[in-house]
Amino acid sequence: MAMVCLTDFEEYAKEHLSKATWDYYAAGADECCTRDDNLLAYKRIRLRPRILRDVSVSDTRTTVQGTEISFPVGIAPTAFHCLAWHEGEVATARATEALNTCYITSTYSTCSVEEIAAAAPNGYRWFQLYVYRDRKLSEQIVHRVEGLGYKALVLTVDVPYTGKRRDDIRNQFKLPPHLKVKNFDGVFQQETAGAEEYGIPANTLDPSISWKDVYWLQSITRLPVIIKGILTKEDAELAVEHGVSGIIVSNHGGRQLDGGPASIDALSEIVDTVQGRIEVYLDGGIRTGSDVLKALALGAKCVFIGRPAVWGLAYKGEEGLREVLQILNDEFRLSMALSGCRNVAEINRNLIQFSKL
């Protein structure tokens, strides 16, 4: 079967992954309103294409944090890639290196940060982290990724507690015995008797995390700190005041607070507040090249895909993820051209028709 669009990969993954694994990746919080709205929100946005603009040559390249990537789509941090494909994050690293884009490696990887770096030595990578009750845990991993050449830290700030994902509770989701959160291999051995949540002991995350922890993180690293999980202009302003290097507008794929905005709907107020002082990125709901175009037109510097990356892995590992990225790249290039844009610098808010709802 020809894989023509990202939905084809979604259908393949749903058919071939175990129910518990599919449900884990697909899950949203509570009634999944926000998860679903992440997709629907793009369909409410209309483009205003310009014509007769000589689009015989187009260029999809852009930069993130000063590094050039081949097109403005990276891989968002998602957990447990080995559930989708036996090589897991190693395959993800190779695919993103091959397409020359950014891979945000998850703390909850089923391969270690060392294995990922070794698999794709020339890949451009950021590392996503949480702040743990035991700050030493966070500190150790920061120093590990710094030494391995990861180029930025992405602090996820929307998980003081894990959202209520009904299917995971019904399925009593647990990592299979042959897989583990590789970055913490051996760290929690003494606590294995207690309750476990997504591969590590429950209550490991620190719900007391606050803005002072952003300063703490900056004090222990030379890497730029990017904050993931901002949805309001107030928090965007605070992020800038705290000296972060970027913001990822994100609702965690609709897996945390149900009833918040779709990430694309939160983007404009954040971009207007930040006013170019730092870069703004977005994840959540990207399924087509025109979705990418809409996000860039509304001010995102780059977007990141989560679930579609996992579908690509489920289809054919590294090769499957390459295909997903290539399809998005091709669709984005086509949408750009059909809108009259020859390069990403020509994409701006004049492309967006705000529909009167």
Annotated binding site for glyoxylate: 24, 165, 252, 255
For residue 356, the tally of other CB atoms under 10 A from its CB is: 4
81 is catalytic: no
For residue 353, the tally of other CB atoms under 10 A from its CB is: 11
State the catalytic residue, choosing from 16, 81, 178, 252: 252
**Helix (H/G/I), strand (E/B), else coil: 41:** helix
Binding site per annotation, positions for FMN: 77-79, 106, 128, 130, 156, 228, 250, 283-287, 306-307
Contacts of 355 by beta carbon, 8 Å cutoff, 6+ apart: 44, 45, 46
Show the 3-state SS of 54-117: CCCCCECCEEECCEEECCCEEECCCCCHHHCCCCCHHHHHHHHHHCCCEEEECCCCCCCHHHHH
Binding site per annotation, positions: 24, 77-79, 106, 128, 130, 156, 165, 228, 250, 252, 255, 283-287, 306-307
Under a CB-based contact definition with an 8 Å cutoff, are residues 282 and 304 in contact?
yes
Under a CB-based contact definition with an 8 Å cutoff, are residues 117 and 125 in contact?
yes
* Phi (first) and psi of residue 355, to 5 degrees: -70, 145
Contacts of 43 by beta carbon, 8 Å cutoff, 6+ apart: none
Q: Which helix (H) or strand (E) holds 279?
A: strand 279-283
Residue 31 to residues 74, 75, 79, 165, 266: CA-CA distances in angstroms? 28, 26, 22, 9, 20
Under a CB-based contact definition with an 8 Å cutoff, are residues 76 and 306 in contact?
yes
Which residues are catalytic, by number? 252
